Structure 1
């Protein structure tokens, strides 16, 4: 497709923001040039969305009819999974196995919300007088969606699908580093019979295009996944408009290994939880707490297994740790590690770029494990968003809970133990939105997801994911034929 065009209100056209290079992080080469939007494109996209939402073709379309469109979109994504996987690997550097899984996840998201829409009912509430009372839900209108670079097509689907299911229009701003797959997705969606104007895809810098979407008076809600600092600015702007927001923000997730854990199972889960996606995941298990009685035996085995992870380009079938999204981000991750070492951390493995011609021009960074710090160290407080794990011992359950919860973040946590009652009791005490027990980084579109504290507001996924994109309305129908007594 012609990536120099952007998708505005159902039409492909030249954006007002100029062209930008898409760089392959595996080798530093230019993949292609793609178009970006300007502020006037935002205005046009919102206006097109408002017209489309008001059009009876969409507004009066019955839920099962909208569900058919969503199902077709899901099927079309799955049919195109190989192209999407190749494109996203070139765009993000991720392994082909991961980008294929992300595409299939996006397909499942559209089909899930189609099914949820088919079976979604309104409520007949209990009356308190001689009247009939109903609780109904209506579309918000135009929804702005701002998605991150670490899993673009899956994040795009998790915002677009429920918003469309609820009867809204969507103006999507993908991340600057990974816009190609979002533009490709726009073409797939448009070909499945979605009425014109209901979707726009506007690549461009967040400080310009994202800001314009958030502050546009015609946008009724913002869906955002990204950094906490940006989330705060969006929330402040939304407060001025009295506009709802859904914010999925940063994390510094604790992973806990209790004395009775299955060590092999725990190590495999910990490695996947922090080093898959090259650590570029908001739910990455980046703080590891190991029972002190197990610590000396556990940590060397963990380090040995980490050193054996295969680092390489996403196109290599055996790659486990692919390059980071850009050399700029790689250097940021390296700076976190260097500062931690300067502050007294001990390097157990990694801590630099891999050697060899294969890696010279790519944004690679070795899987890294640090020790010798306490939970109040900067490396334990700040989100690195890279393949960096900090391991610390704990002495008892009270110590563990205090350390695990001592964070401004509260997105996710993992527990490894063979004692389910103890694991469940711990899960109830952890101040996070998601807890995995004897597994990690597993997701279901049917299960709500979101964070506590500085990790966000609102929830995505689940049957209630459609309702989150609607406004509730109460209707009273009088059944008493006599006039109201006051009058």
Structure 2
């Protein structure tokens, strides 16, 4: 593990294995950290924040280190992407592009590092000046998931460091390797000891300990809503600030006046491009009845053409499910969909190709004639399974879209610009795409409504999540004549 700029074993000396979901074979063994290791890393991070070289650095100096880190990520993009693909089975053509984009997050937030400032506030008190300053929180605990560990780490690390915080990262036990590879670049970039620490281990031990650690002043978590509730309870015990980016059951609304070919590709991108393993997956496709049959026919034909295969092959269009437990969960929900009476239109089983026999593959699956009260329409599957739901009117589409505990993402496909804005204003979700799906950027805030989370990542908005405001009053000449008079 990477603690205080040193490469260390876990305190207990235990390790665990990471398997390749395409071959089924173990490809890495990493330290199994627990509460003792978390405490060790938090102490190092706290010392760096309070007394180390980092605590004396200016914003410009912090920004320069982030820019250097961005350069190194670009130089090592292929190594990082391959490690992530072997760990979680996502496509190399997706992950290579994603990793190459990460430098943008470093550069963007490096620009904020020397621009974090407060305000001068007029007050109704004679001879008094009030101003504010924004200060870092301290040690940040980042708990990141297995589906896009590097991207979702940078969403947390870049603003945290730009603001002057230090960080302890707990990657998923499913995909620990890419973050250890990334730590080499942190070391090479020249960050002082204790600023960035990575502790590998299981959620119920290392993750739980990080959320409960009293010196951690903020927890940034991405994962399931159930785990998010537990993280929130644990961090609340010591009043740590908490941001949660959680699950979704996002509606992808296809109106009768949409460009149908474009919308079909948008649905495919929304649910199958990442094997459905993304919190923003467009897992509910709402289709206006007048075009339902035409749209479904085109969607099923294109879905049946999706090429499954080795995720490291640039021609592969869909990879594996990331690990066995998730694979079994996806298959379970496919059976639930059948039992609920939904019509299986595509997929719903393992492929029978000999070259895929060792991988955790599920054919891209489409259920038609779904009603929104079915479990497959209400519960997050996190796999390549999409539900098709009919609607008649714009008002009905909005009602169905909002009839869920989640509110992370959504999309509207229409050529009517007035309708698109009207619908976007009524959808209860943190993101609405119009005539596209699954786009993110470092300047655009991302986060959810309802059970999809608390707080936002990316953009200036996230800098407020990693700083606290201090109010400073300056008396320029008052004489206190009555100590018991406040105003």
Alpha-carbon displacement from aligned partner over 1:397-435 (angstroms, at most 9, x marks no partner): 221111110000000001100001101000000000000
**Aligned mate of 2:482, from 473, 476, 486:** 486
Q: Which residue of 2 aligns with 1:54?
A: 50
Give the drift of 1:105. 2.7
Give unmatched runs, 5+ long, in structure 2: none
Higher alpha-carbon deviation: 215-224 or 35-44: 35-44
Which residue matches 2:100?
Answer: 104
CA contact (8 A) 2:4 2:195 kept: yes
Residues 83, 178 of structure 2: 8 Å contact kept: yes
Q: Does 1:87 align with 2:83?
A: yes
CA distance 1:158–1:179, change in 2 (3 Å): same
Match status 1:264 vs 2:276 = no
Which of 70, 74, 80 is the aligned partner of 1:78? Answer: 74
Which of 185, 188, 204 does residue 207 from structure 1 map onto? 204
The 8 Å contact of residues 166 and 467 in structure 1, kept in 2 or not, is answered as: no
Q: Which residue does the alignment assign to 1:455?
A: 452
Match of 1:120 in 2: 116
Indicate if the aligned counterparts of 2:222 and 2:245 stay in contact, CA closer than 8 A. Answer: yes
Q: How far has the Cα of 1:237 moved from its partner?
A: 1.7
**Aligned equivalents of 2:448 and 2:380: distance in 1?**
14
Query: 1:40 aligns to what?
Result: 36
Any idea what SS the aligned residue of 1:322 has?
coil
CA spacing shift, 1:142–1:237, aligned 2, 3 Å = same
**2:336 is matched with which residue?**
339
The alignment partner of 2:286 has SS state of strand
Q: Which runs of 4+ in 1 moved over 4 A?
A: none
Q: Are 1:66 and 2:62 counterparts?
A: yes
Query: Any conservation in 2 of the 1:42–1:213 contact (CA below 8 Å)?
Result: yes
State whether residues 141 and 210 of structure 2, in contact with CA within 8 Å, keep that contact through their aligned partners in structure 1. Answer: yes
After TM superposition, give the deviation of residue 82 of structure 1 in Å.
Answer: 1.1
Residue 37 of structure 1 aligns to a residue whose secondary structure is: coil
Aligned to 1:8: 3
Aligned residues: 481
Distance 1:269 1:372 in 2: 20
Which residue of the partner structure matches residue 243 of structure 1? 240
Distance (whole Å) between structure 1 residues aligned to residue 181 and residue 456 of structure 2: 27
Structure 1 CA distance, aligned partners of 2:116 and 2:88?
36
> Aligned pair 1:363/2:360, yes or no?
yes
State the match for 1:386 in structure 2.
383
Q: In the alignment, does 2:310 pair up with 1:299?
A: no
Could you list the per-position Cα deviations for residues 350-387 of structure 1 after superposition, in whole angstroms to 9, with x for gaps in the alignment? 00111111111101111100012210000000000001
Instruction: Say yes or no: does 1:396 pair with 2:393.
Output: yes
Deviation at 1:296, TM superposition (A): 1.4
Q: For residues 98-127 of structure 1, what are the alpha-carbon distances to aligned partners after superposition, in whole Å with 9 as ceiling and x for unaligned?
A: 111221232211111001223333222223
Q: How does 1:114-263 map to 2 (within 5 A)?
A: 114-129=110-125, 130-263=127-260
The CA distance in 2 between the partners of 1:36 and 1:183, in whole Å, is 13
Distance 1:293 1:108 in 2: 43
Partners in 1 of 2:52 and 2:31 — Cα distance? 32
Q: Partner of 1:118: helix, strand, or coil?
A: coil
Q: Distance in 1 between matches of 2:114 and 2:45?
A: 24
Q: Give the equivalent residue in structure 2 for 1:279.
A: 276
| Correspondent of 1:424 among 421, 433, 438 | 421
Deviates more, 1:450-459 or 1:28-37: 28-37
The TM-score with structure 1 as length reference comes to 0.97
Cα RMSD for the two superposed structures: 1.1
Contact 1:409–1:453 (CA<8 Å) still a contact in 2? Answer: yes
- CA displacement at 1:56 relative to structure 2: 5.4
2-structure distance, mates of 1:229, 1:134: 41
8 Å Cα contact 1:35-1:203 kept in structure 2? yes
The residue number in structure 2 matching 1:476 is: 473
Q: 1:29 to 1:56 in 2, by over 3 A?
A: closer
In the alignment, the residues of structure 2 paired with residue 357 and residue 378 of structure 1 have an alpha-carbon distance, to the nearest angstrom, of 33
Residue 321 of structure 1: how far off its partner (Å): 0.5
CA drift at 1:240: 2.1
Give the C-alpha shift of residue 324 in structure 1: 1.0
User: Following the alignment from structure 2 to structure 1, what is the Cα–Cα distance between the partners of residues 265 and 445?
Assistant: 25
| Post-superposition CA distance 1:185-215 (Å, at most 9, x none) | 1111111111101111011110000111111
Q: Does the 8 Å contact 1:9/1:44 carry over to 2?
A: no
For residue 284 of structure 1, report the CA deviation from its aligned partner.
Answer: 0.3
Find the counterpart in structure 1 of residue 19 from structure 2: 23
